[in-house]
Chains A and B, each alone.
Chain A
Amino acid sequence: EVQLVESGGGLVQPGGSVRLSCAASGFTFGSYAMKWVRQAPGKGLEYVASVSSDGGSAFYTNSVKGRFTISRDNSEDTVYLQMGYLSAEDMAVYYCARVGIGAVGLEYWGRGTLVTVSS
């Protein structure tokens, strides 16, 4: 069974940083690209970042470029999101998702981890 479990969220001060983790199981992790998608309270879904299956390529939405870094460790079946210079606009539930092969979309999602930015 495919499972994605996010962790690392919590209360962070404005300007602070946090690292989110997404532990994968139930599939060959190194064969799939991964994404982070966030959802602010009461709002819709927003793409944040993606990383290729081998970790060699990373992409970001404009609002997080230079502040967030996505990475992965295929030996640990884990994808990370290092987040810095956080502001209230970054407060959201952060989901990791597996990118299906062959343009089948985001076929599996984790339950998400909440990042609260507040002093």
Chain B
Amino acid sequence: QSVLTQPPSASGTPGQRVTISCSGSSSNIGSNYVYWYQQLPGMAPKLLIYKNDQRPSGVSDRFSGSKSGTSASLAISGVRSEDEADYYCAAWDDFLSTDVVFGGGTKLTVL
């Protein structure tokens, strides 16, 4: 049971906008930044979004992040087949004796 809750799966057809949610609490998302990581099949994770809504250089502007209260979302506009991957949200938690907590991950399927 992950501290941050994500839907196990999401799907979309090419060109659609897909949104992945991440729900937490006041001790993590509610008071800290949210990060998103993309893990392509068989690959290491890659930083996609930092500080709730910032994109590292080189990350497509089709990816965007947002946060409201104790929830966050990752949006992928114009989804492509190469976006098929697992997506993880992460945040620091002020109460747990671990410095970063991850969501359980969402597998995105492009139909």
Q: How far is the CA of A84 from the CA of B37 in the complex (A)?
A: 29
The residue of chain A having its C-beta at the shortest distance from the C-beta of B39 within the complex is A45
A50 partner, pick from B33, B99, B103, B104, beta carbons under 8 A: B99
The residues of B that contact A8 with a CB separation of less than 8 Å are none
The residues of B that contact A27 with a CB separation of less than 8 Å are none
The residue of chain B having its C-beta at the shortest distance from the C-beta of A45 within the complex is B102
Q: How far is the CA of A50 from the CA of B35 in the complex (A)?
A: 17
B90 partner, pick from A105, A107, A108, A109, beta carbons under 8 A: A105
The yes or no answer to A95 lying at the interface (CB within 8 A) is yes
Contacting residues of chain A (29-81) with chain B, CB-CB under 8 angstroms: 35, 37, 44-47, 50, 59-62
B50 partner, pick from A44, A50, A62, A100, beta carbons under 8 A: A100
Q: Could you tell me the distance in whole angstroms from the C-beta of B104 to the nearest C-beta in chain A?
A: 5
B104 partner, pick from A44, A107, A110, beta carbons under 8 A: A44
The residues of A that contact B101 with a CB separation of less than 8 Å are 47
Contacting residues of chain A (73-109) with chain B, CB-CB under 8 angstroms: 95, 97, 100, 103-109
Q: How far is the CA of A107 from the CA of B104 in the complex (A)?
A: 20
Q: Could you tell me the distance in whole angstroms from the C-beta of A41 to the nearest C-beta in chain B?
A: 13
B105 partner, pick from A45, A47, A109, A111, beta carbons under 8 A: A45
Q: How many residues of B contact A (CB 8 A)?
A: 26
Asked whether B47 lies within 8 Å of A107 as measured between CB atoms, the reply is yes
Q: Could you tell me the distance in whole angstroms from the C-beta of A110 to the nearest C-beta in chain B?
A: 6
Asked whether B44 lies within 8 Å of A107 as measured between CB atoms, the reply is no
Interface residues of chain A, those whose CB is within 8 Å of chain B, are 35, 37, 44-47, 50, 59-62, 95, 97, 100, 103-112
| A and B contact pairs by CB, cutoff 8 A, 27 listed | A44-B2, A44-B88, A44-B102, A44-B104, A45-B37, A45-B45, A45-B90, A45-B105, A46-B102, A47-B101, A59-B99, A60-B98, A62-B98, A95-B45, A100-B50, A103-B33, A103-B51, A104-B56, A105-B35, A105-B50, A106-B45, A106-B90, A107-B50, A109-B44, A109-B45, A109-B46, A110-B44
